[in-house]
Chain A
Amino acid sequence: MTKEQVFITVIGKDQKGIIARISNAVFAHNINIEDLNQKIMGGYFVMTLLADITDSSITITRLKKELSLIEGEMDLKIQVQHENIFKTMHRV
């Protein structure tokens, strides 16, 4: 079975608990974190997290909804996008 992977991208003001909250939320749905990358870019906390949703029963729509709660509470911007879009745009 091909892997279903999504990128979760988080942008916002650096603060305690961002990684903890996001990783807890994905763990609760049996989603494996394949890779994680974070940096301070132009004064903003930026994180990309590659999550494997193959074994999870959650849909991307649902996952987005759940993460949007964290987005609101911590004043972040969180995007969830299937990996294929990055493959298509950045790899020839």
Chain B
Amino acid sequence: MEYSLEEVMETVQMTLYHNFDIRTVTLGINLKDCINSDLDIFKENVYGRVSDYGRRLILEAQKLEDKYGIPIINKRISVTPVSLIIEACAEPDAPYQIAKALDKASKDVGIDFIGGFGALVQKGMTRADERLINSLPEVLSSTERVCAFLNVASTVSGMNMDAVIRLGKTLKEIADRTENGIGCAKFVVFANAPEDNPFMAGAFHGVGEPDFSLNIGISGPGVVRSVVEKNRDCGLTELSEVIKRTTFKITRAGELIGRELAHNLSVPFGIVDISLASTTKVGDSVAGIVEMMGIEKMGAPGSTAALALLIDAVKKGGAMASGNVGGLSGTFIPVSEDSCMNEAVRVGALSIEKLEALTAVCSVGLDMIAIPGDTKAETISAIIADELAIGVVNNKTTGVRLIPVPGKRAGDYVNFGGLLGETYVMNMSAFSSHDFILRGGRMPCPVTSMRN
């Protein structure tokens, strides 16, 4: 036989026992040619485009799941940033109306999330951007599947602190309007947002993209954890090699399925995002890999180094496997969606300060973190500013998805349900950032960005 029994079994066991799956196939769709100054026609165009392609995406993805025996967990769509396409509509509720059309199209055909309700405001806001930001609390509390993003900072533009100030208040407002503040789980704020990210909540179809682009996000923390477990005693150089080889294999599988799916949909293949993405399932945890490497609990001294080694090995293996690596391609460490992260918070091993340090070596940032409902808006803005400063200065993507849970205090338990998981509310610093944050303006770009 061309393949040994061991080789075949390695692949089979990845899906059967180690939760290997294609986390998401995300079809990017350009909506600029749907624009019409008549809002009703515009909405119809948007609904038609999204539902047509959404239906086909689900059908073709299902066929490939069967063909290759690898589950495709999420089928998603990302669209042109909505602030751009509503420029021509004078109606004050145009952002809300478009969000409703996107939500309905997704629900009708079974797309689980649709991303792109957002704006790029790193240098300043247009009137359309402002309208979109104003609509966020209403949109995120009255739609089910629409995900929102804002890019408020970049290495070449610096950080729009006026936008950051507004976001502190906006997040609290979204939280107040949804149960357990869950609307905030559908909203991420970025520095250096990638235009081809397939993962929610931050996926959008950037302006540099073609009409369509099929992007794929693989997942395999369980697979990596199992090879780390098999190599308990080796040195870190060898451990890195082992992780590289494994990531190579799972990335190749993702690339195969992504390319074939794009071909079957007659759209260009975009990128493979090689990020390790955890789920709430036991054993499917990124923190679990770090702990298997020899750290007692995620957050203990050594965690940052271990995570840095992990993400580097993942990138090297992935880069060898695919010429189309893109998106975020880091290692996600969401708190509520990762069982070991959550446990580390519960036992006091992981604080928000250590999380911030961890995100200096991995994407994508402070993710799915519950904070006390009475956290001041300026403090939320300050946490966002800290995290995005790491991205700006280090020329990388960072993001923030914080959930100020109404009525909850540090240490309280909160269950967001389903894939969003459960967590314990983080303790916040008792000291104020008020005066610094309220200075506003734009934080200048770092000198390292001046490369021309």
- A residues in contact (CB < 8 Å) with B: 7, 9, 11, 35, 37-39, 41, 46, 48, 50, 59-61, 64, 77, 79-82, 84-86, 88-90
Q: How far is the CA of A48 from the CA of B69 in the complex (A)?
A: 14
Partner of A86, one of B8, B67, B255: B8
Complex interface: chain A residues within 8 A of B12 (CB): 9, 11, 79, 81
Contact status of A39 and B16, CB under 8 A, knowing A88-B256, A89-B249: no
A50 to B15, CA, bound (A): 19
Given known A-B contacts A9-B12, A82-B68, A89 and B5 have beta carbons under 8 A apart: no
Tell me if B3 counts as interface (CB < 8 A to partner A). Answer: yes
Contacting residue for A37 out of B1, B252, B253, B255, CB 8 A: B1
* Chain B residues, CB < 8 A from A88: 252-253, 255-256
Q: Please give, as numbers and ranges, the residues of chain A lying within 8 Å of B249 by CB-CB distance.
A: 89-90
User: In the complex, A56 Cα to B5 Cα: how many Å?
Assistant: 25
| A61 with B66, Cβ < 8 A, contacts A7-B8, A79-B16, A85-B253 known | yes
Report how far A9 CA is from B14 CA in the complex, Å: 13
Task: Give the nearest-CB partner of B255 in chain A.
Answer: A88
Across the interface, do A9 and B8 meet the contact criterion of CB distance under 8 Å?
A: yes
Q: Which residues of A contact B1 (CB under 8 A)?
A: 35, 37, 48, 50
Task: Report if B435 contacts A (CB, 8 A).
Answer: no
CB neighbours of B402 from chain A (8 A): none
Contacts of A11 in B (CB 8 A): 12, 16
Are A85 and B70 neighbours in the complex by a CB distance under 8 Å?
yes
Q: Which of A7, A39, A59 has the most chain B CB within a 10 Å cutoff?
A: A7
Collect the chain B residues with CB atoms within 8 Å of residue A41's CB: 5, 9
- Chain B residue contacts of A84, Cβ below 8 A: 68, 256
Bound-state CA distance A7–B16 (Å) is 15
Asked whether A60 lies within 8 Å of B9 as measured between CB atoms, the reply is no
**B66 in contact with A85 (CB, 8 Å):** no
Beta-carbon contact of A89 and B252 below 8 Å: yes
- Determine whether the beta carbon of A39 is less than 8 Å from that of B15: no
Return 19 A-B CB contacts under 8 Å, by A number: A9-B8, A9-B9, A37-B1, A46-B5, A46-B9, A48-B1, A48-B9, A60-B66, A61-B66, A79-B12, A79-B15, A81-B68, A85-B11, A85-B68, A86-B8, A86-B11, A88-B256, A89-B249, A90-B11
Find chain B residues with CB under 8 A from A90 CB: 3, 7, 10-11, 249
Partner of B69, one of A35, A39, A50, A85: A85
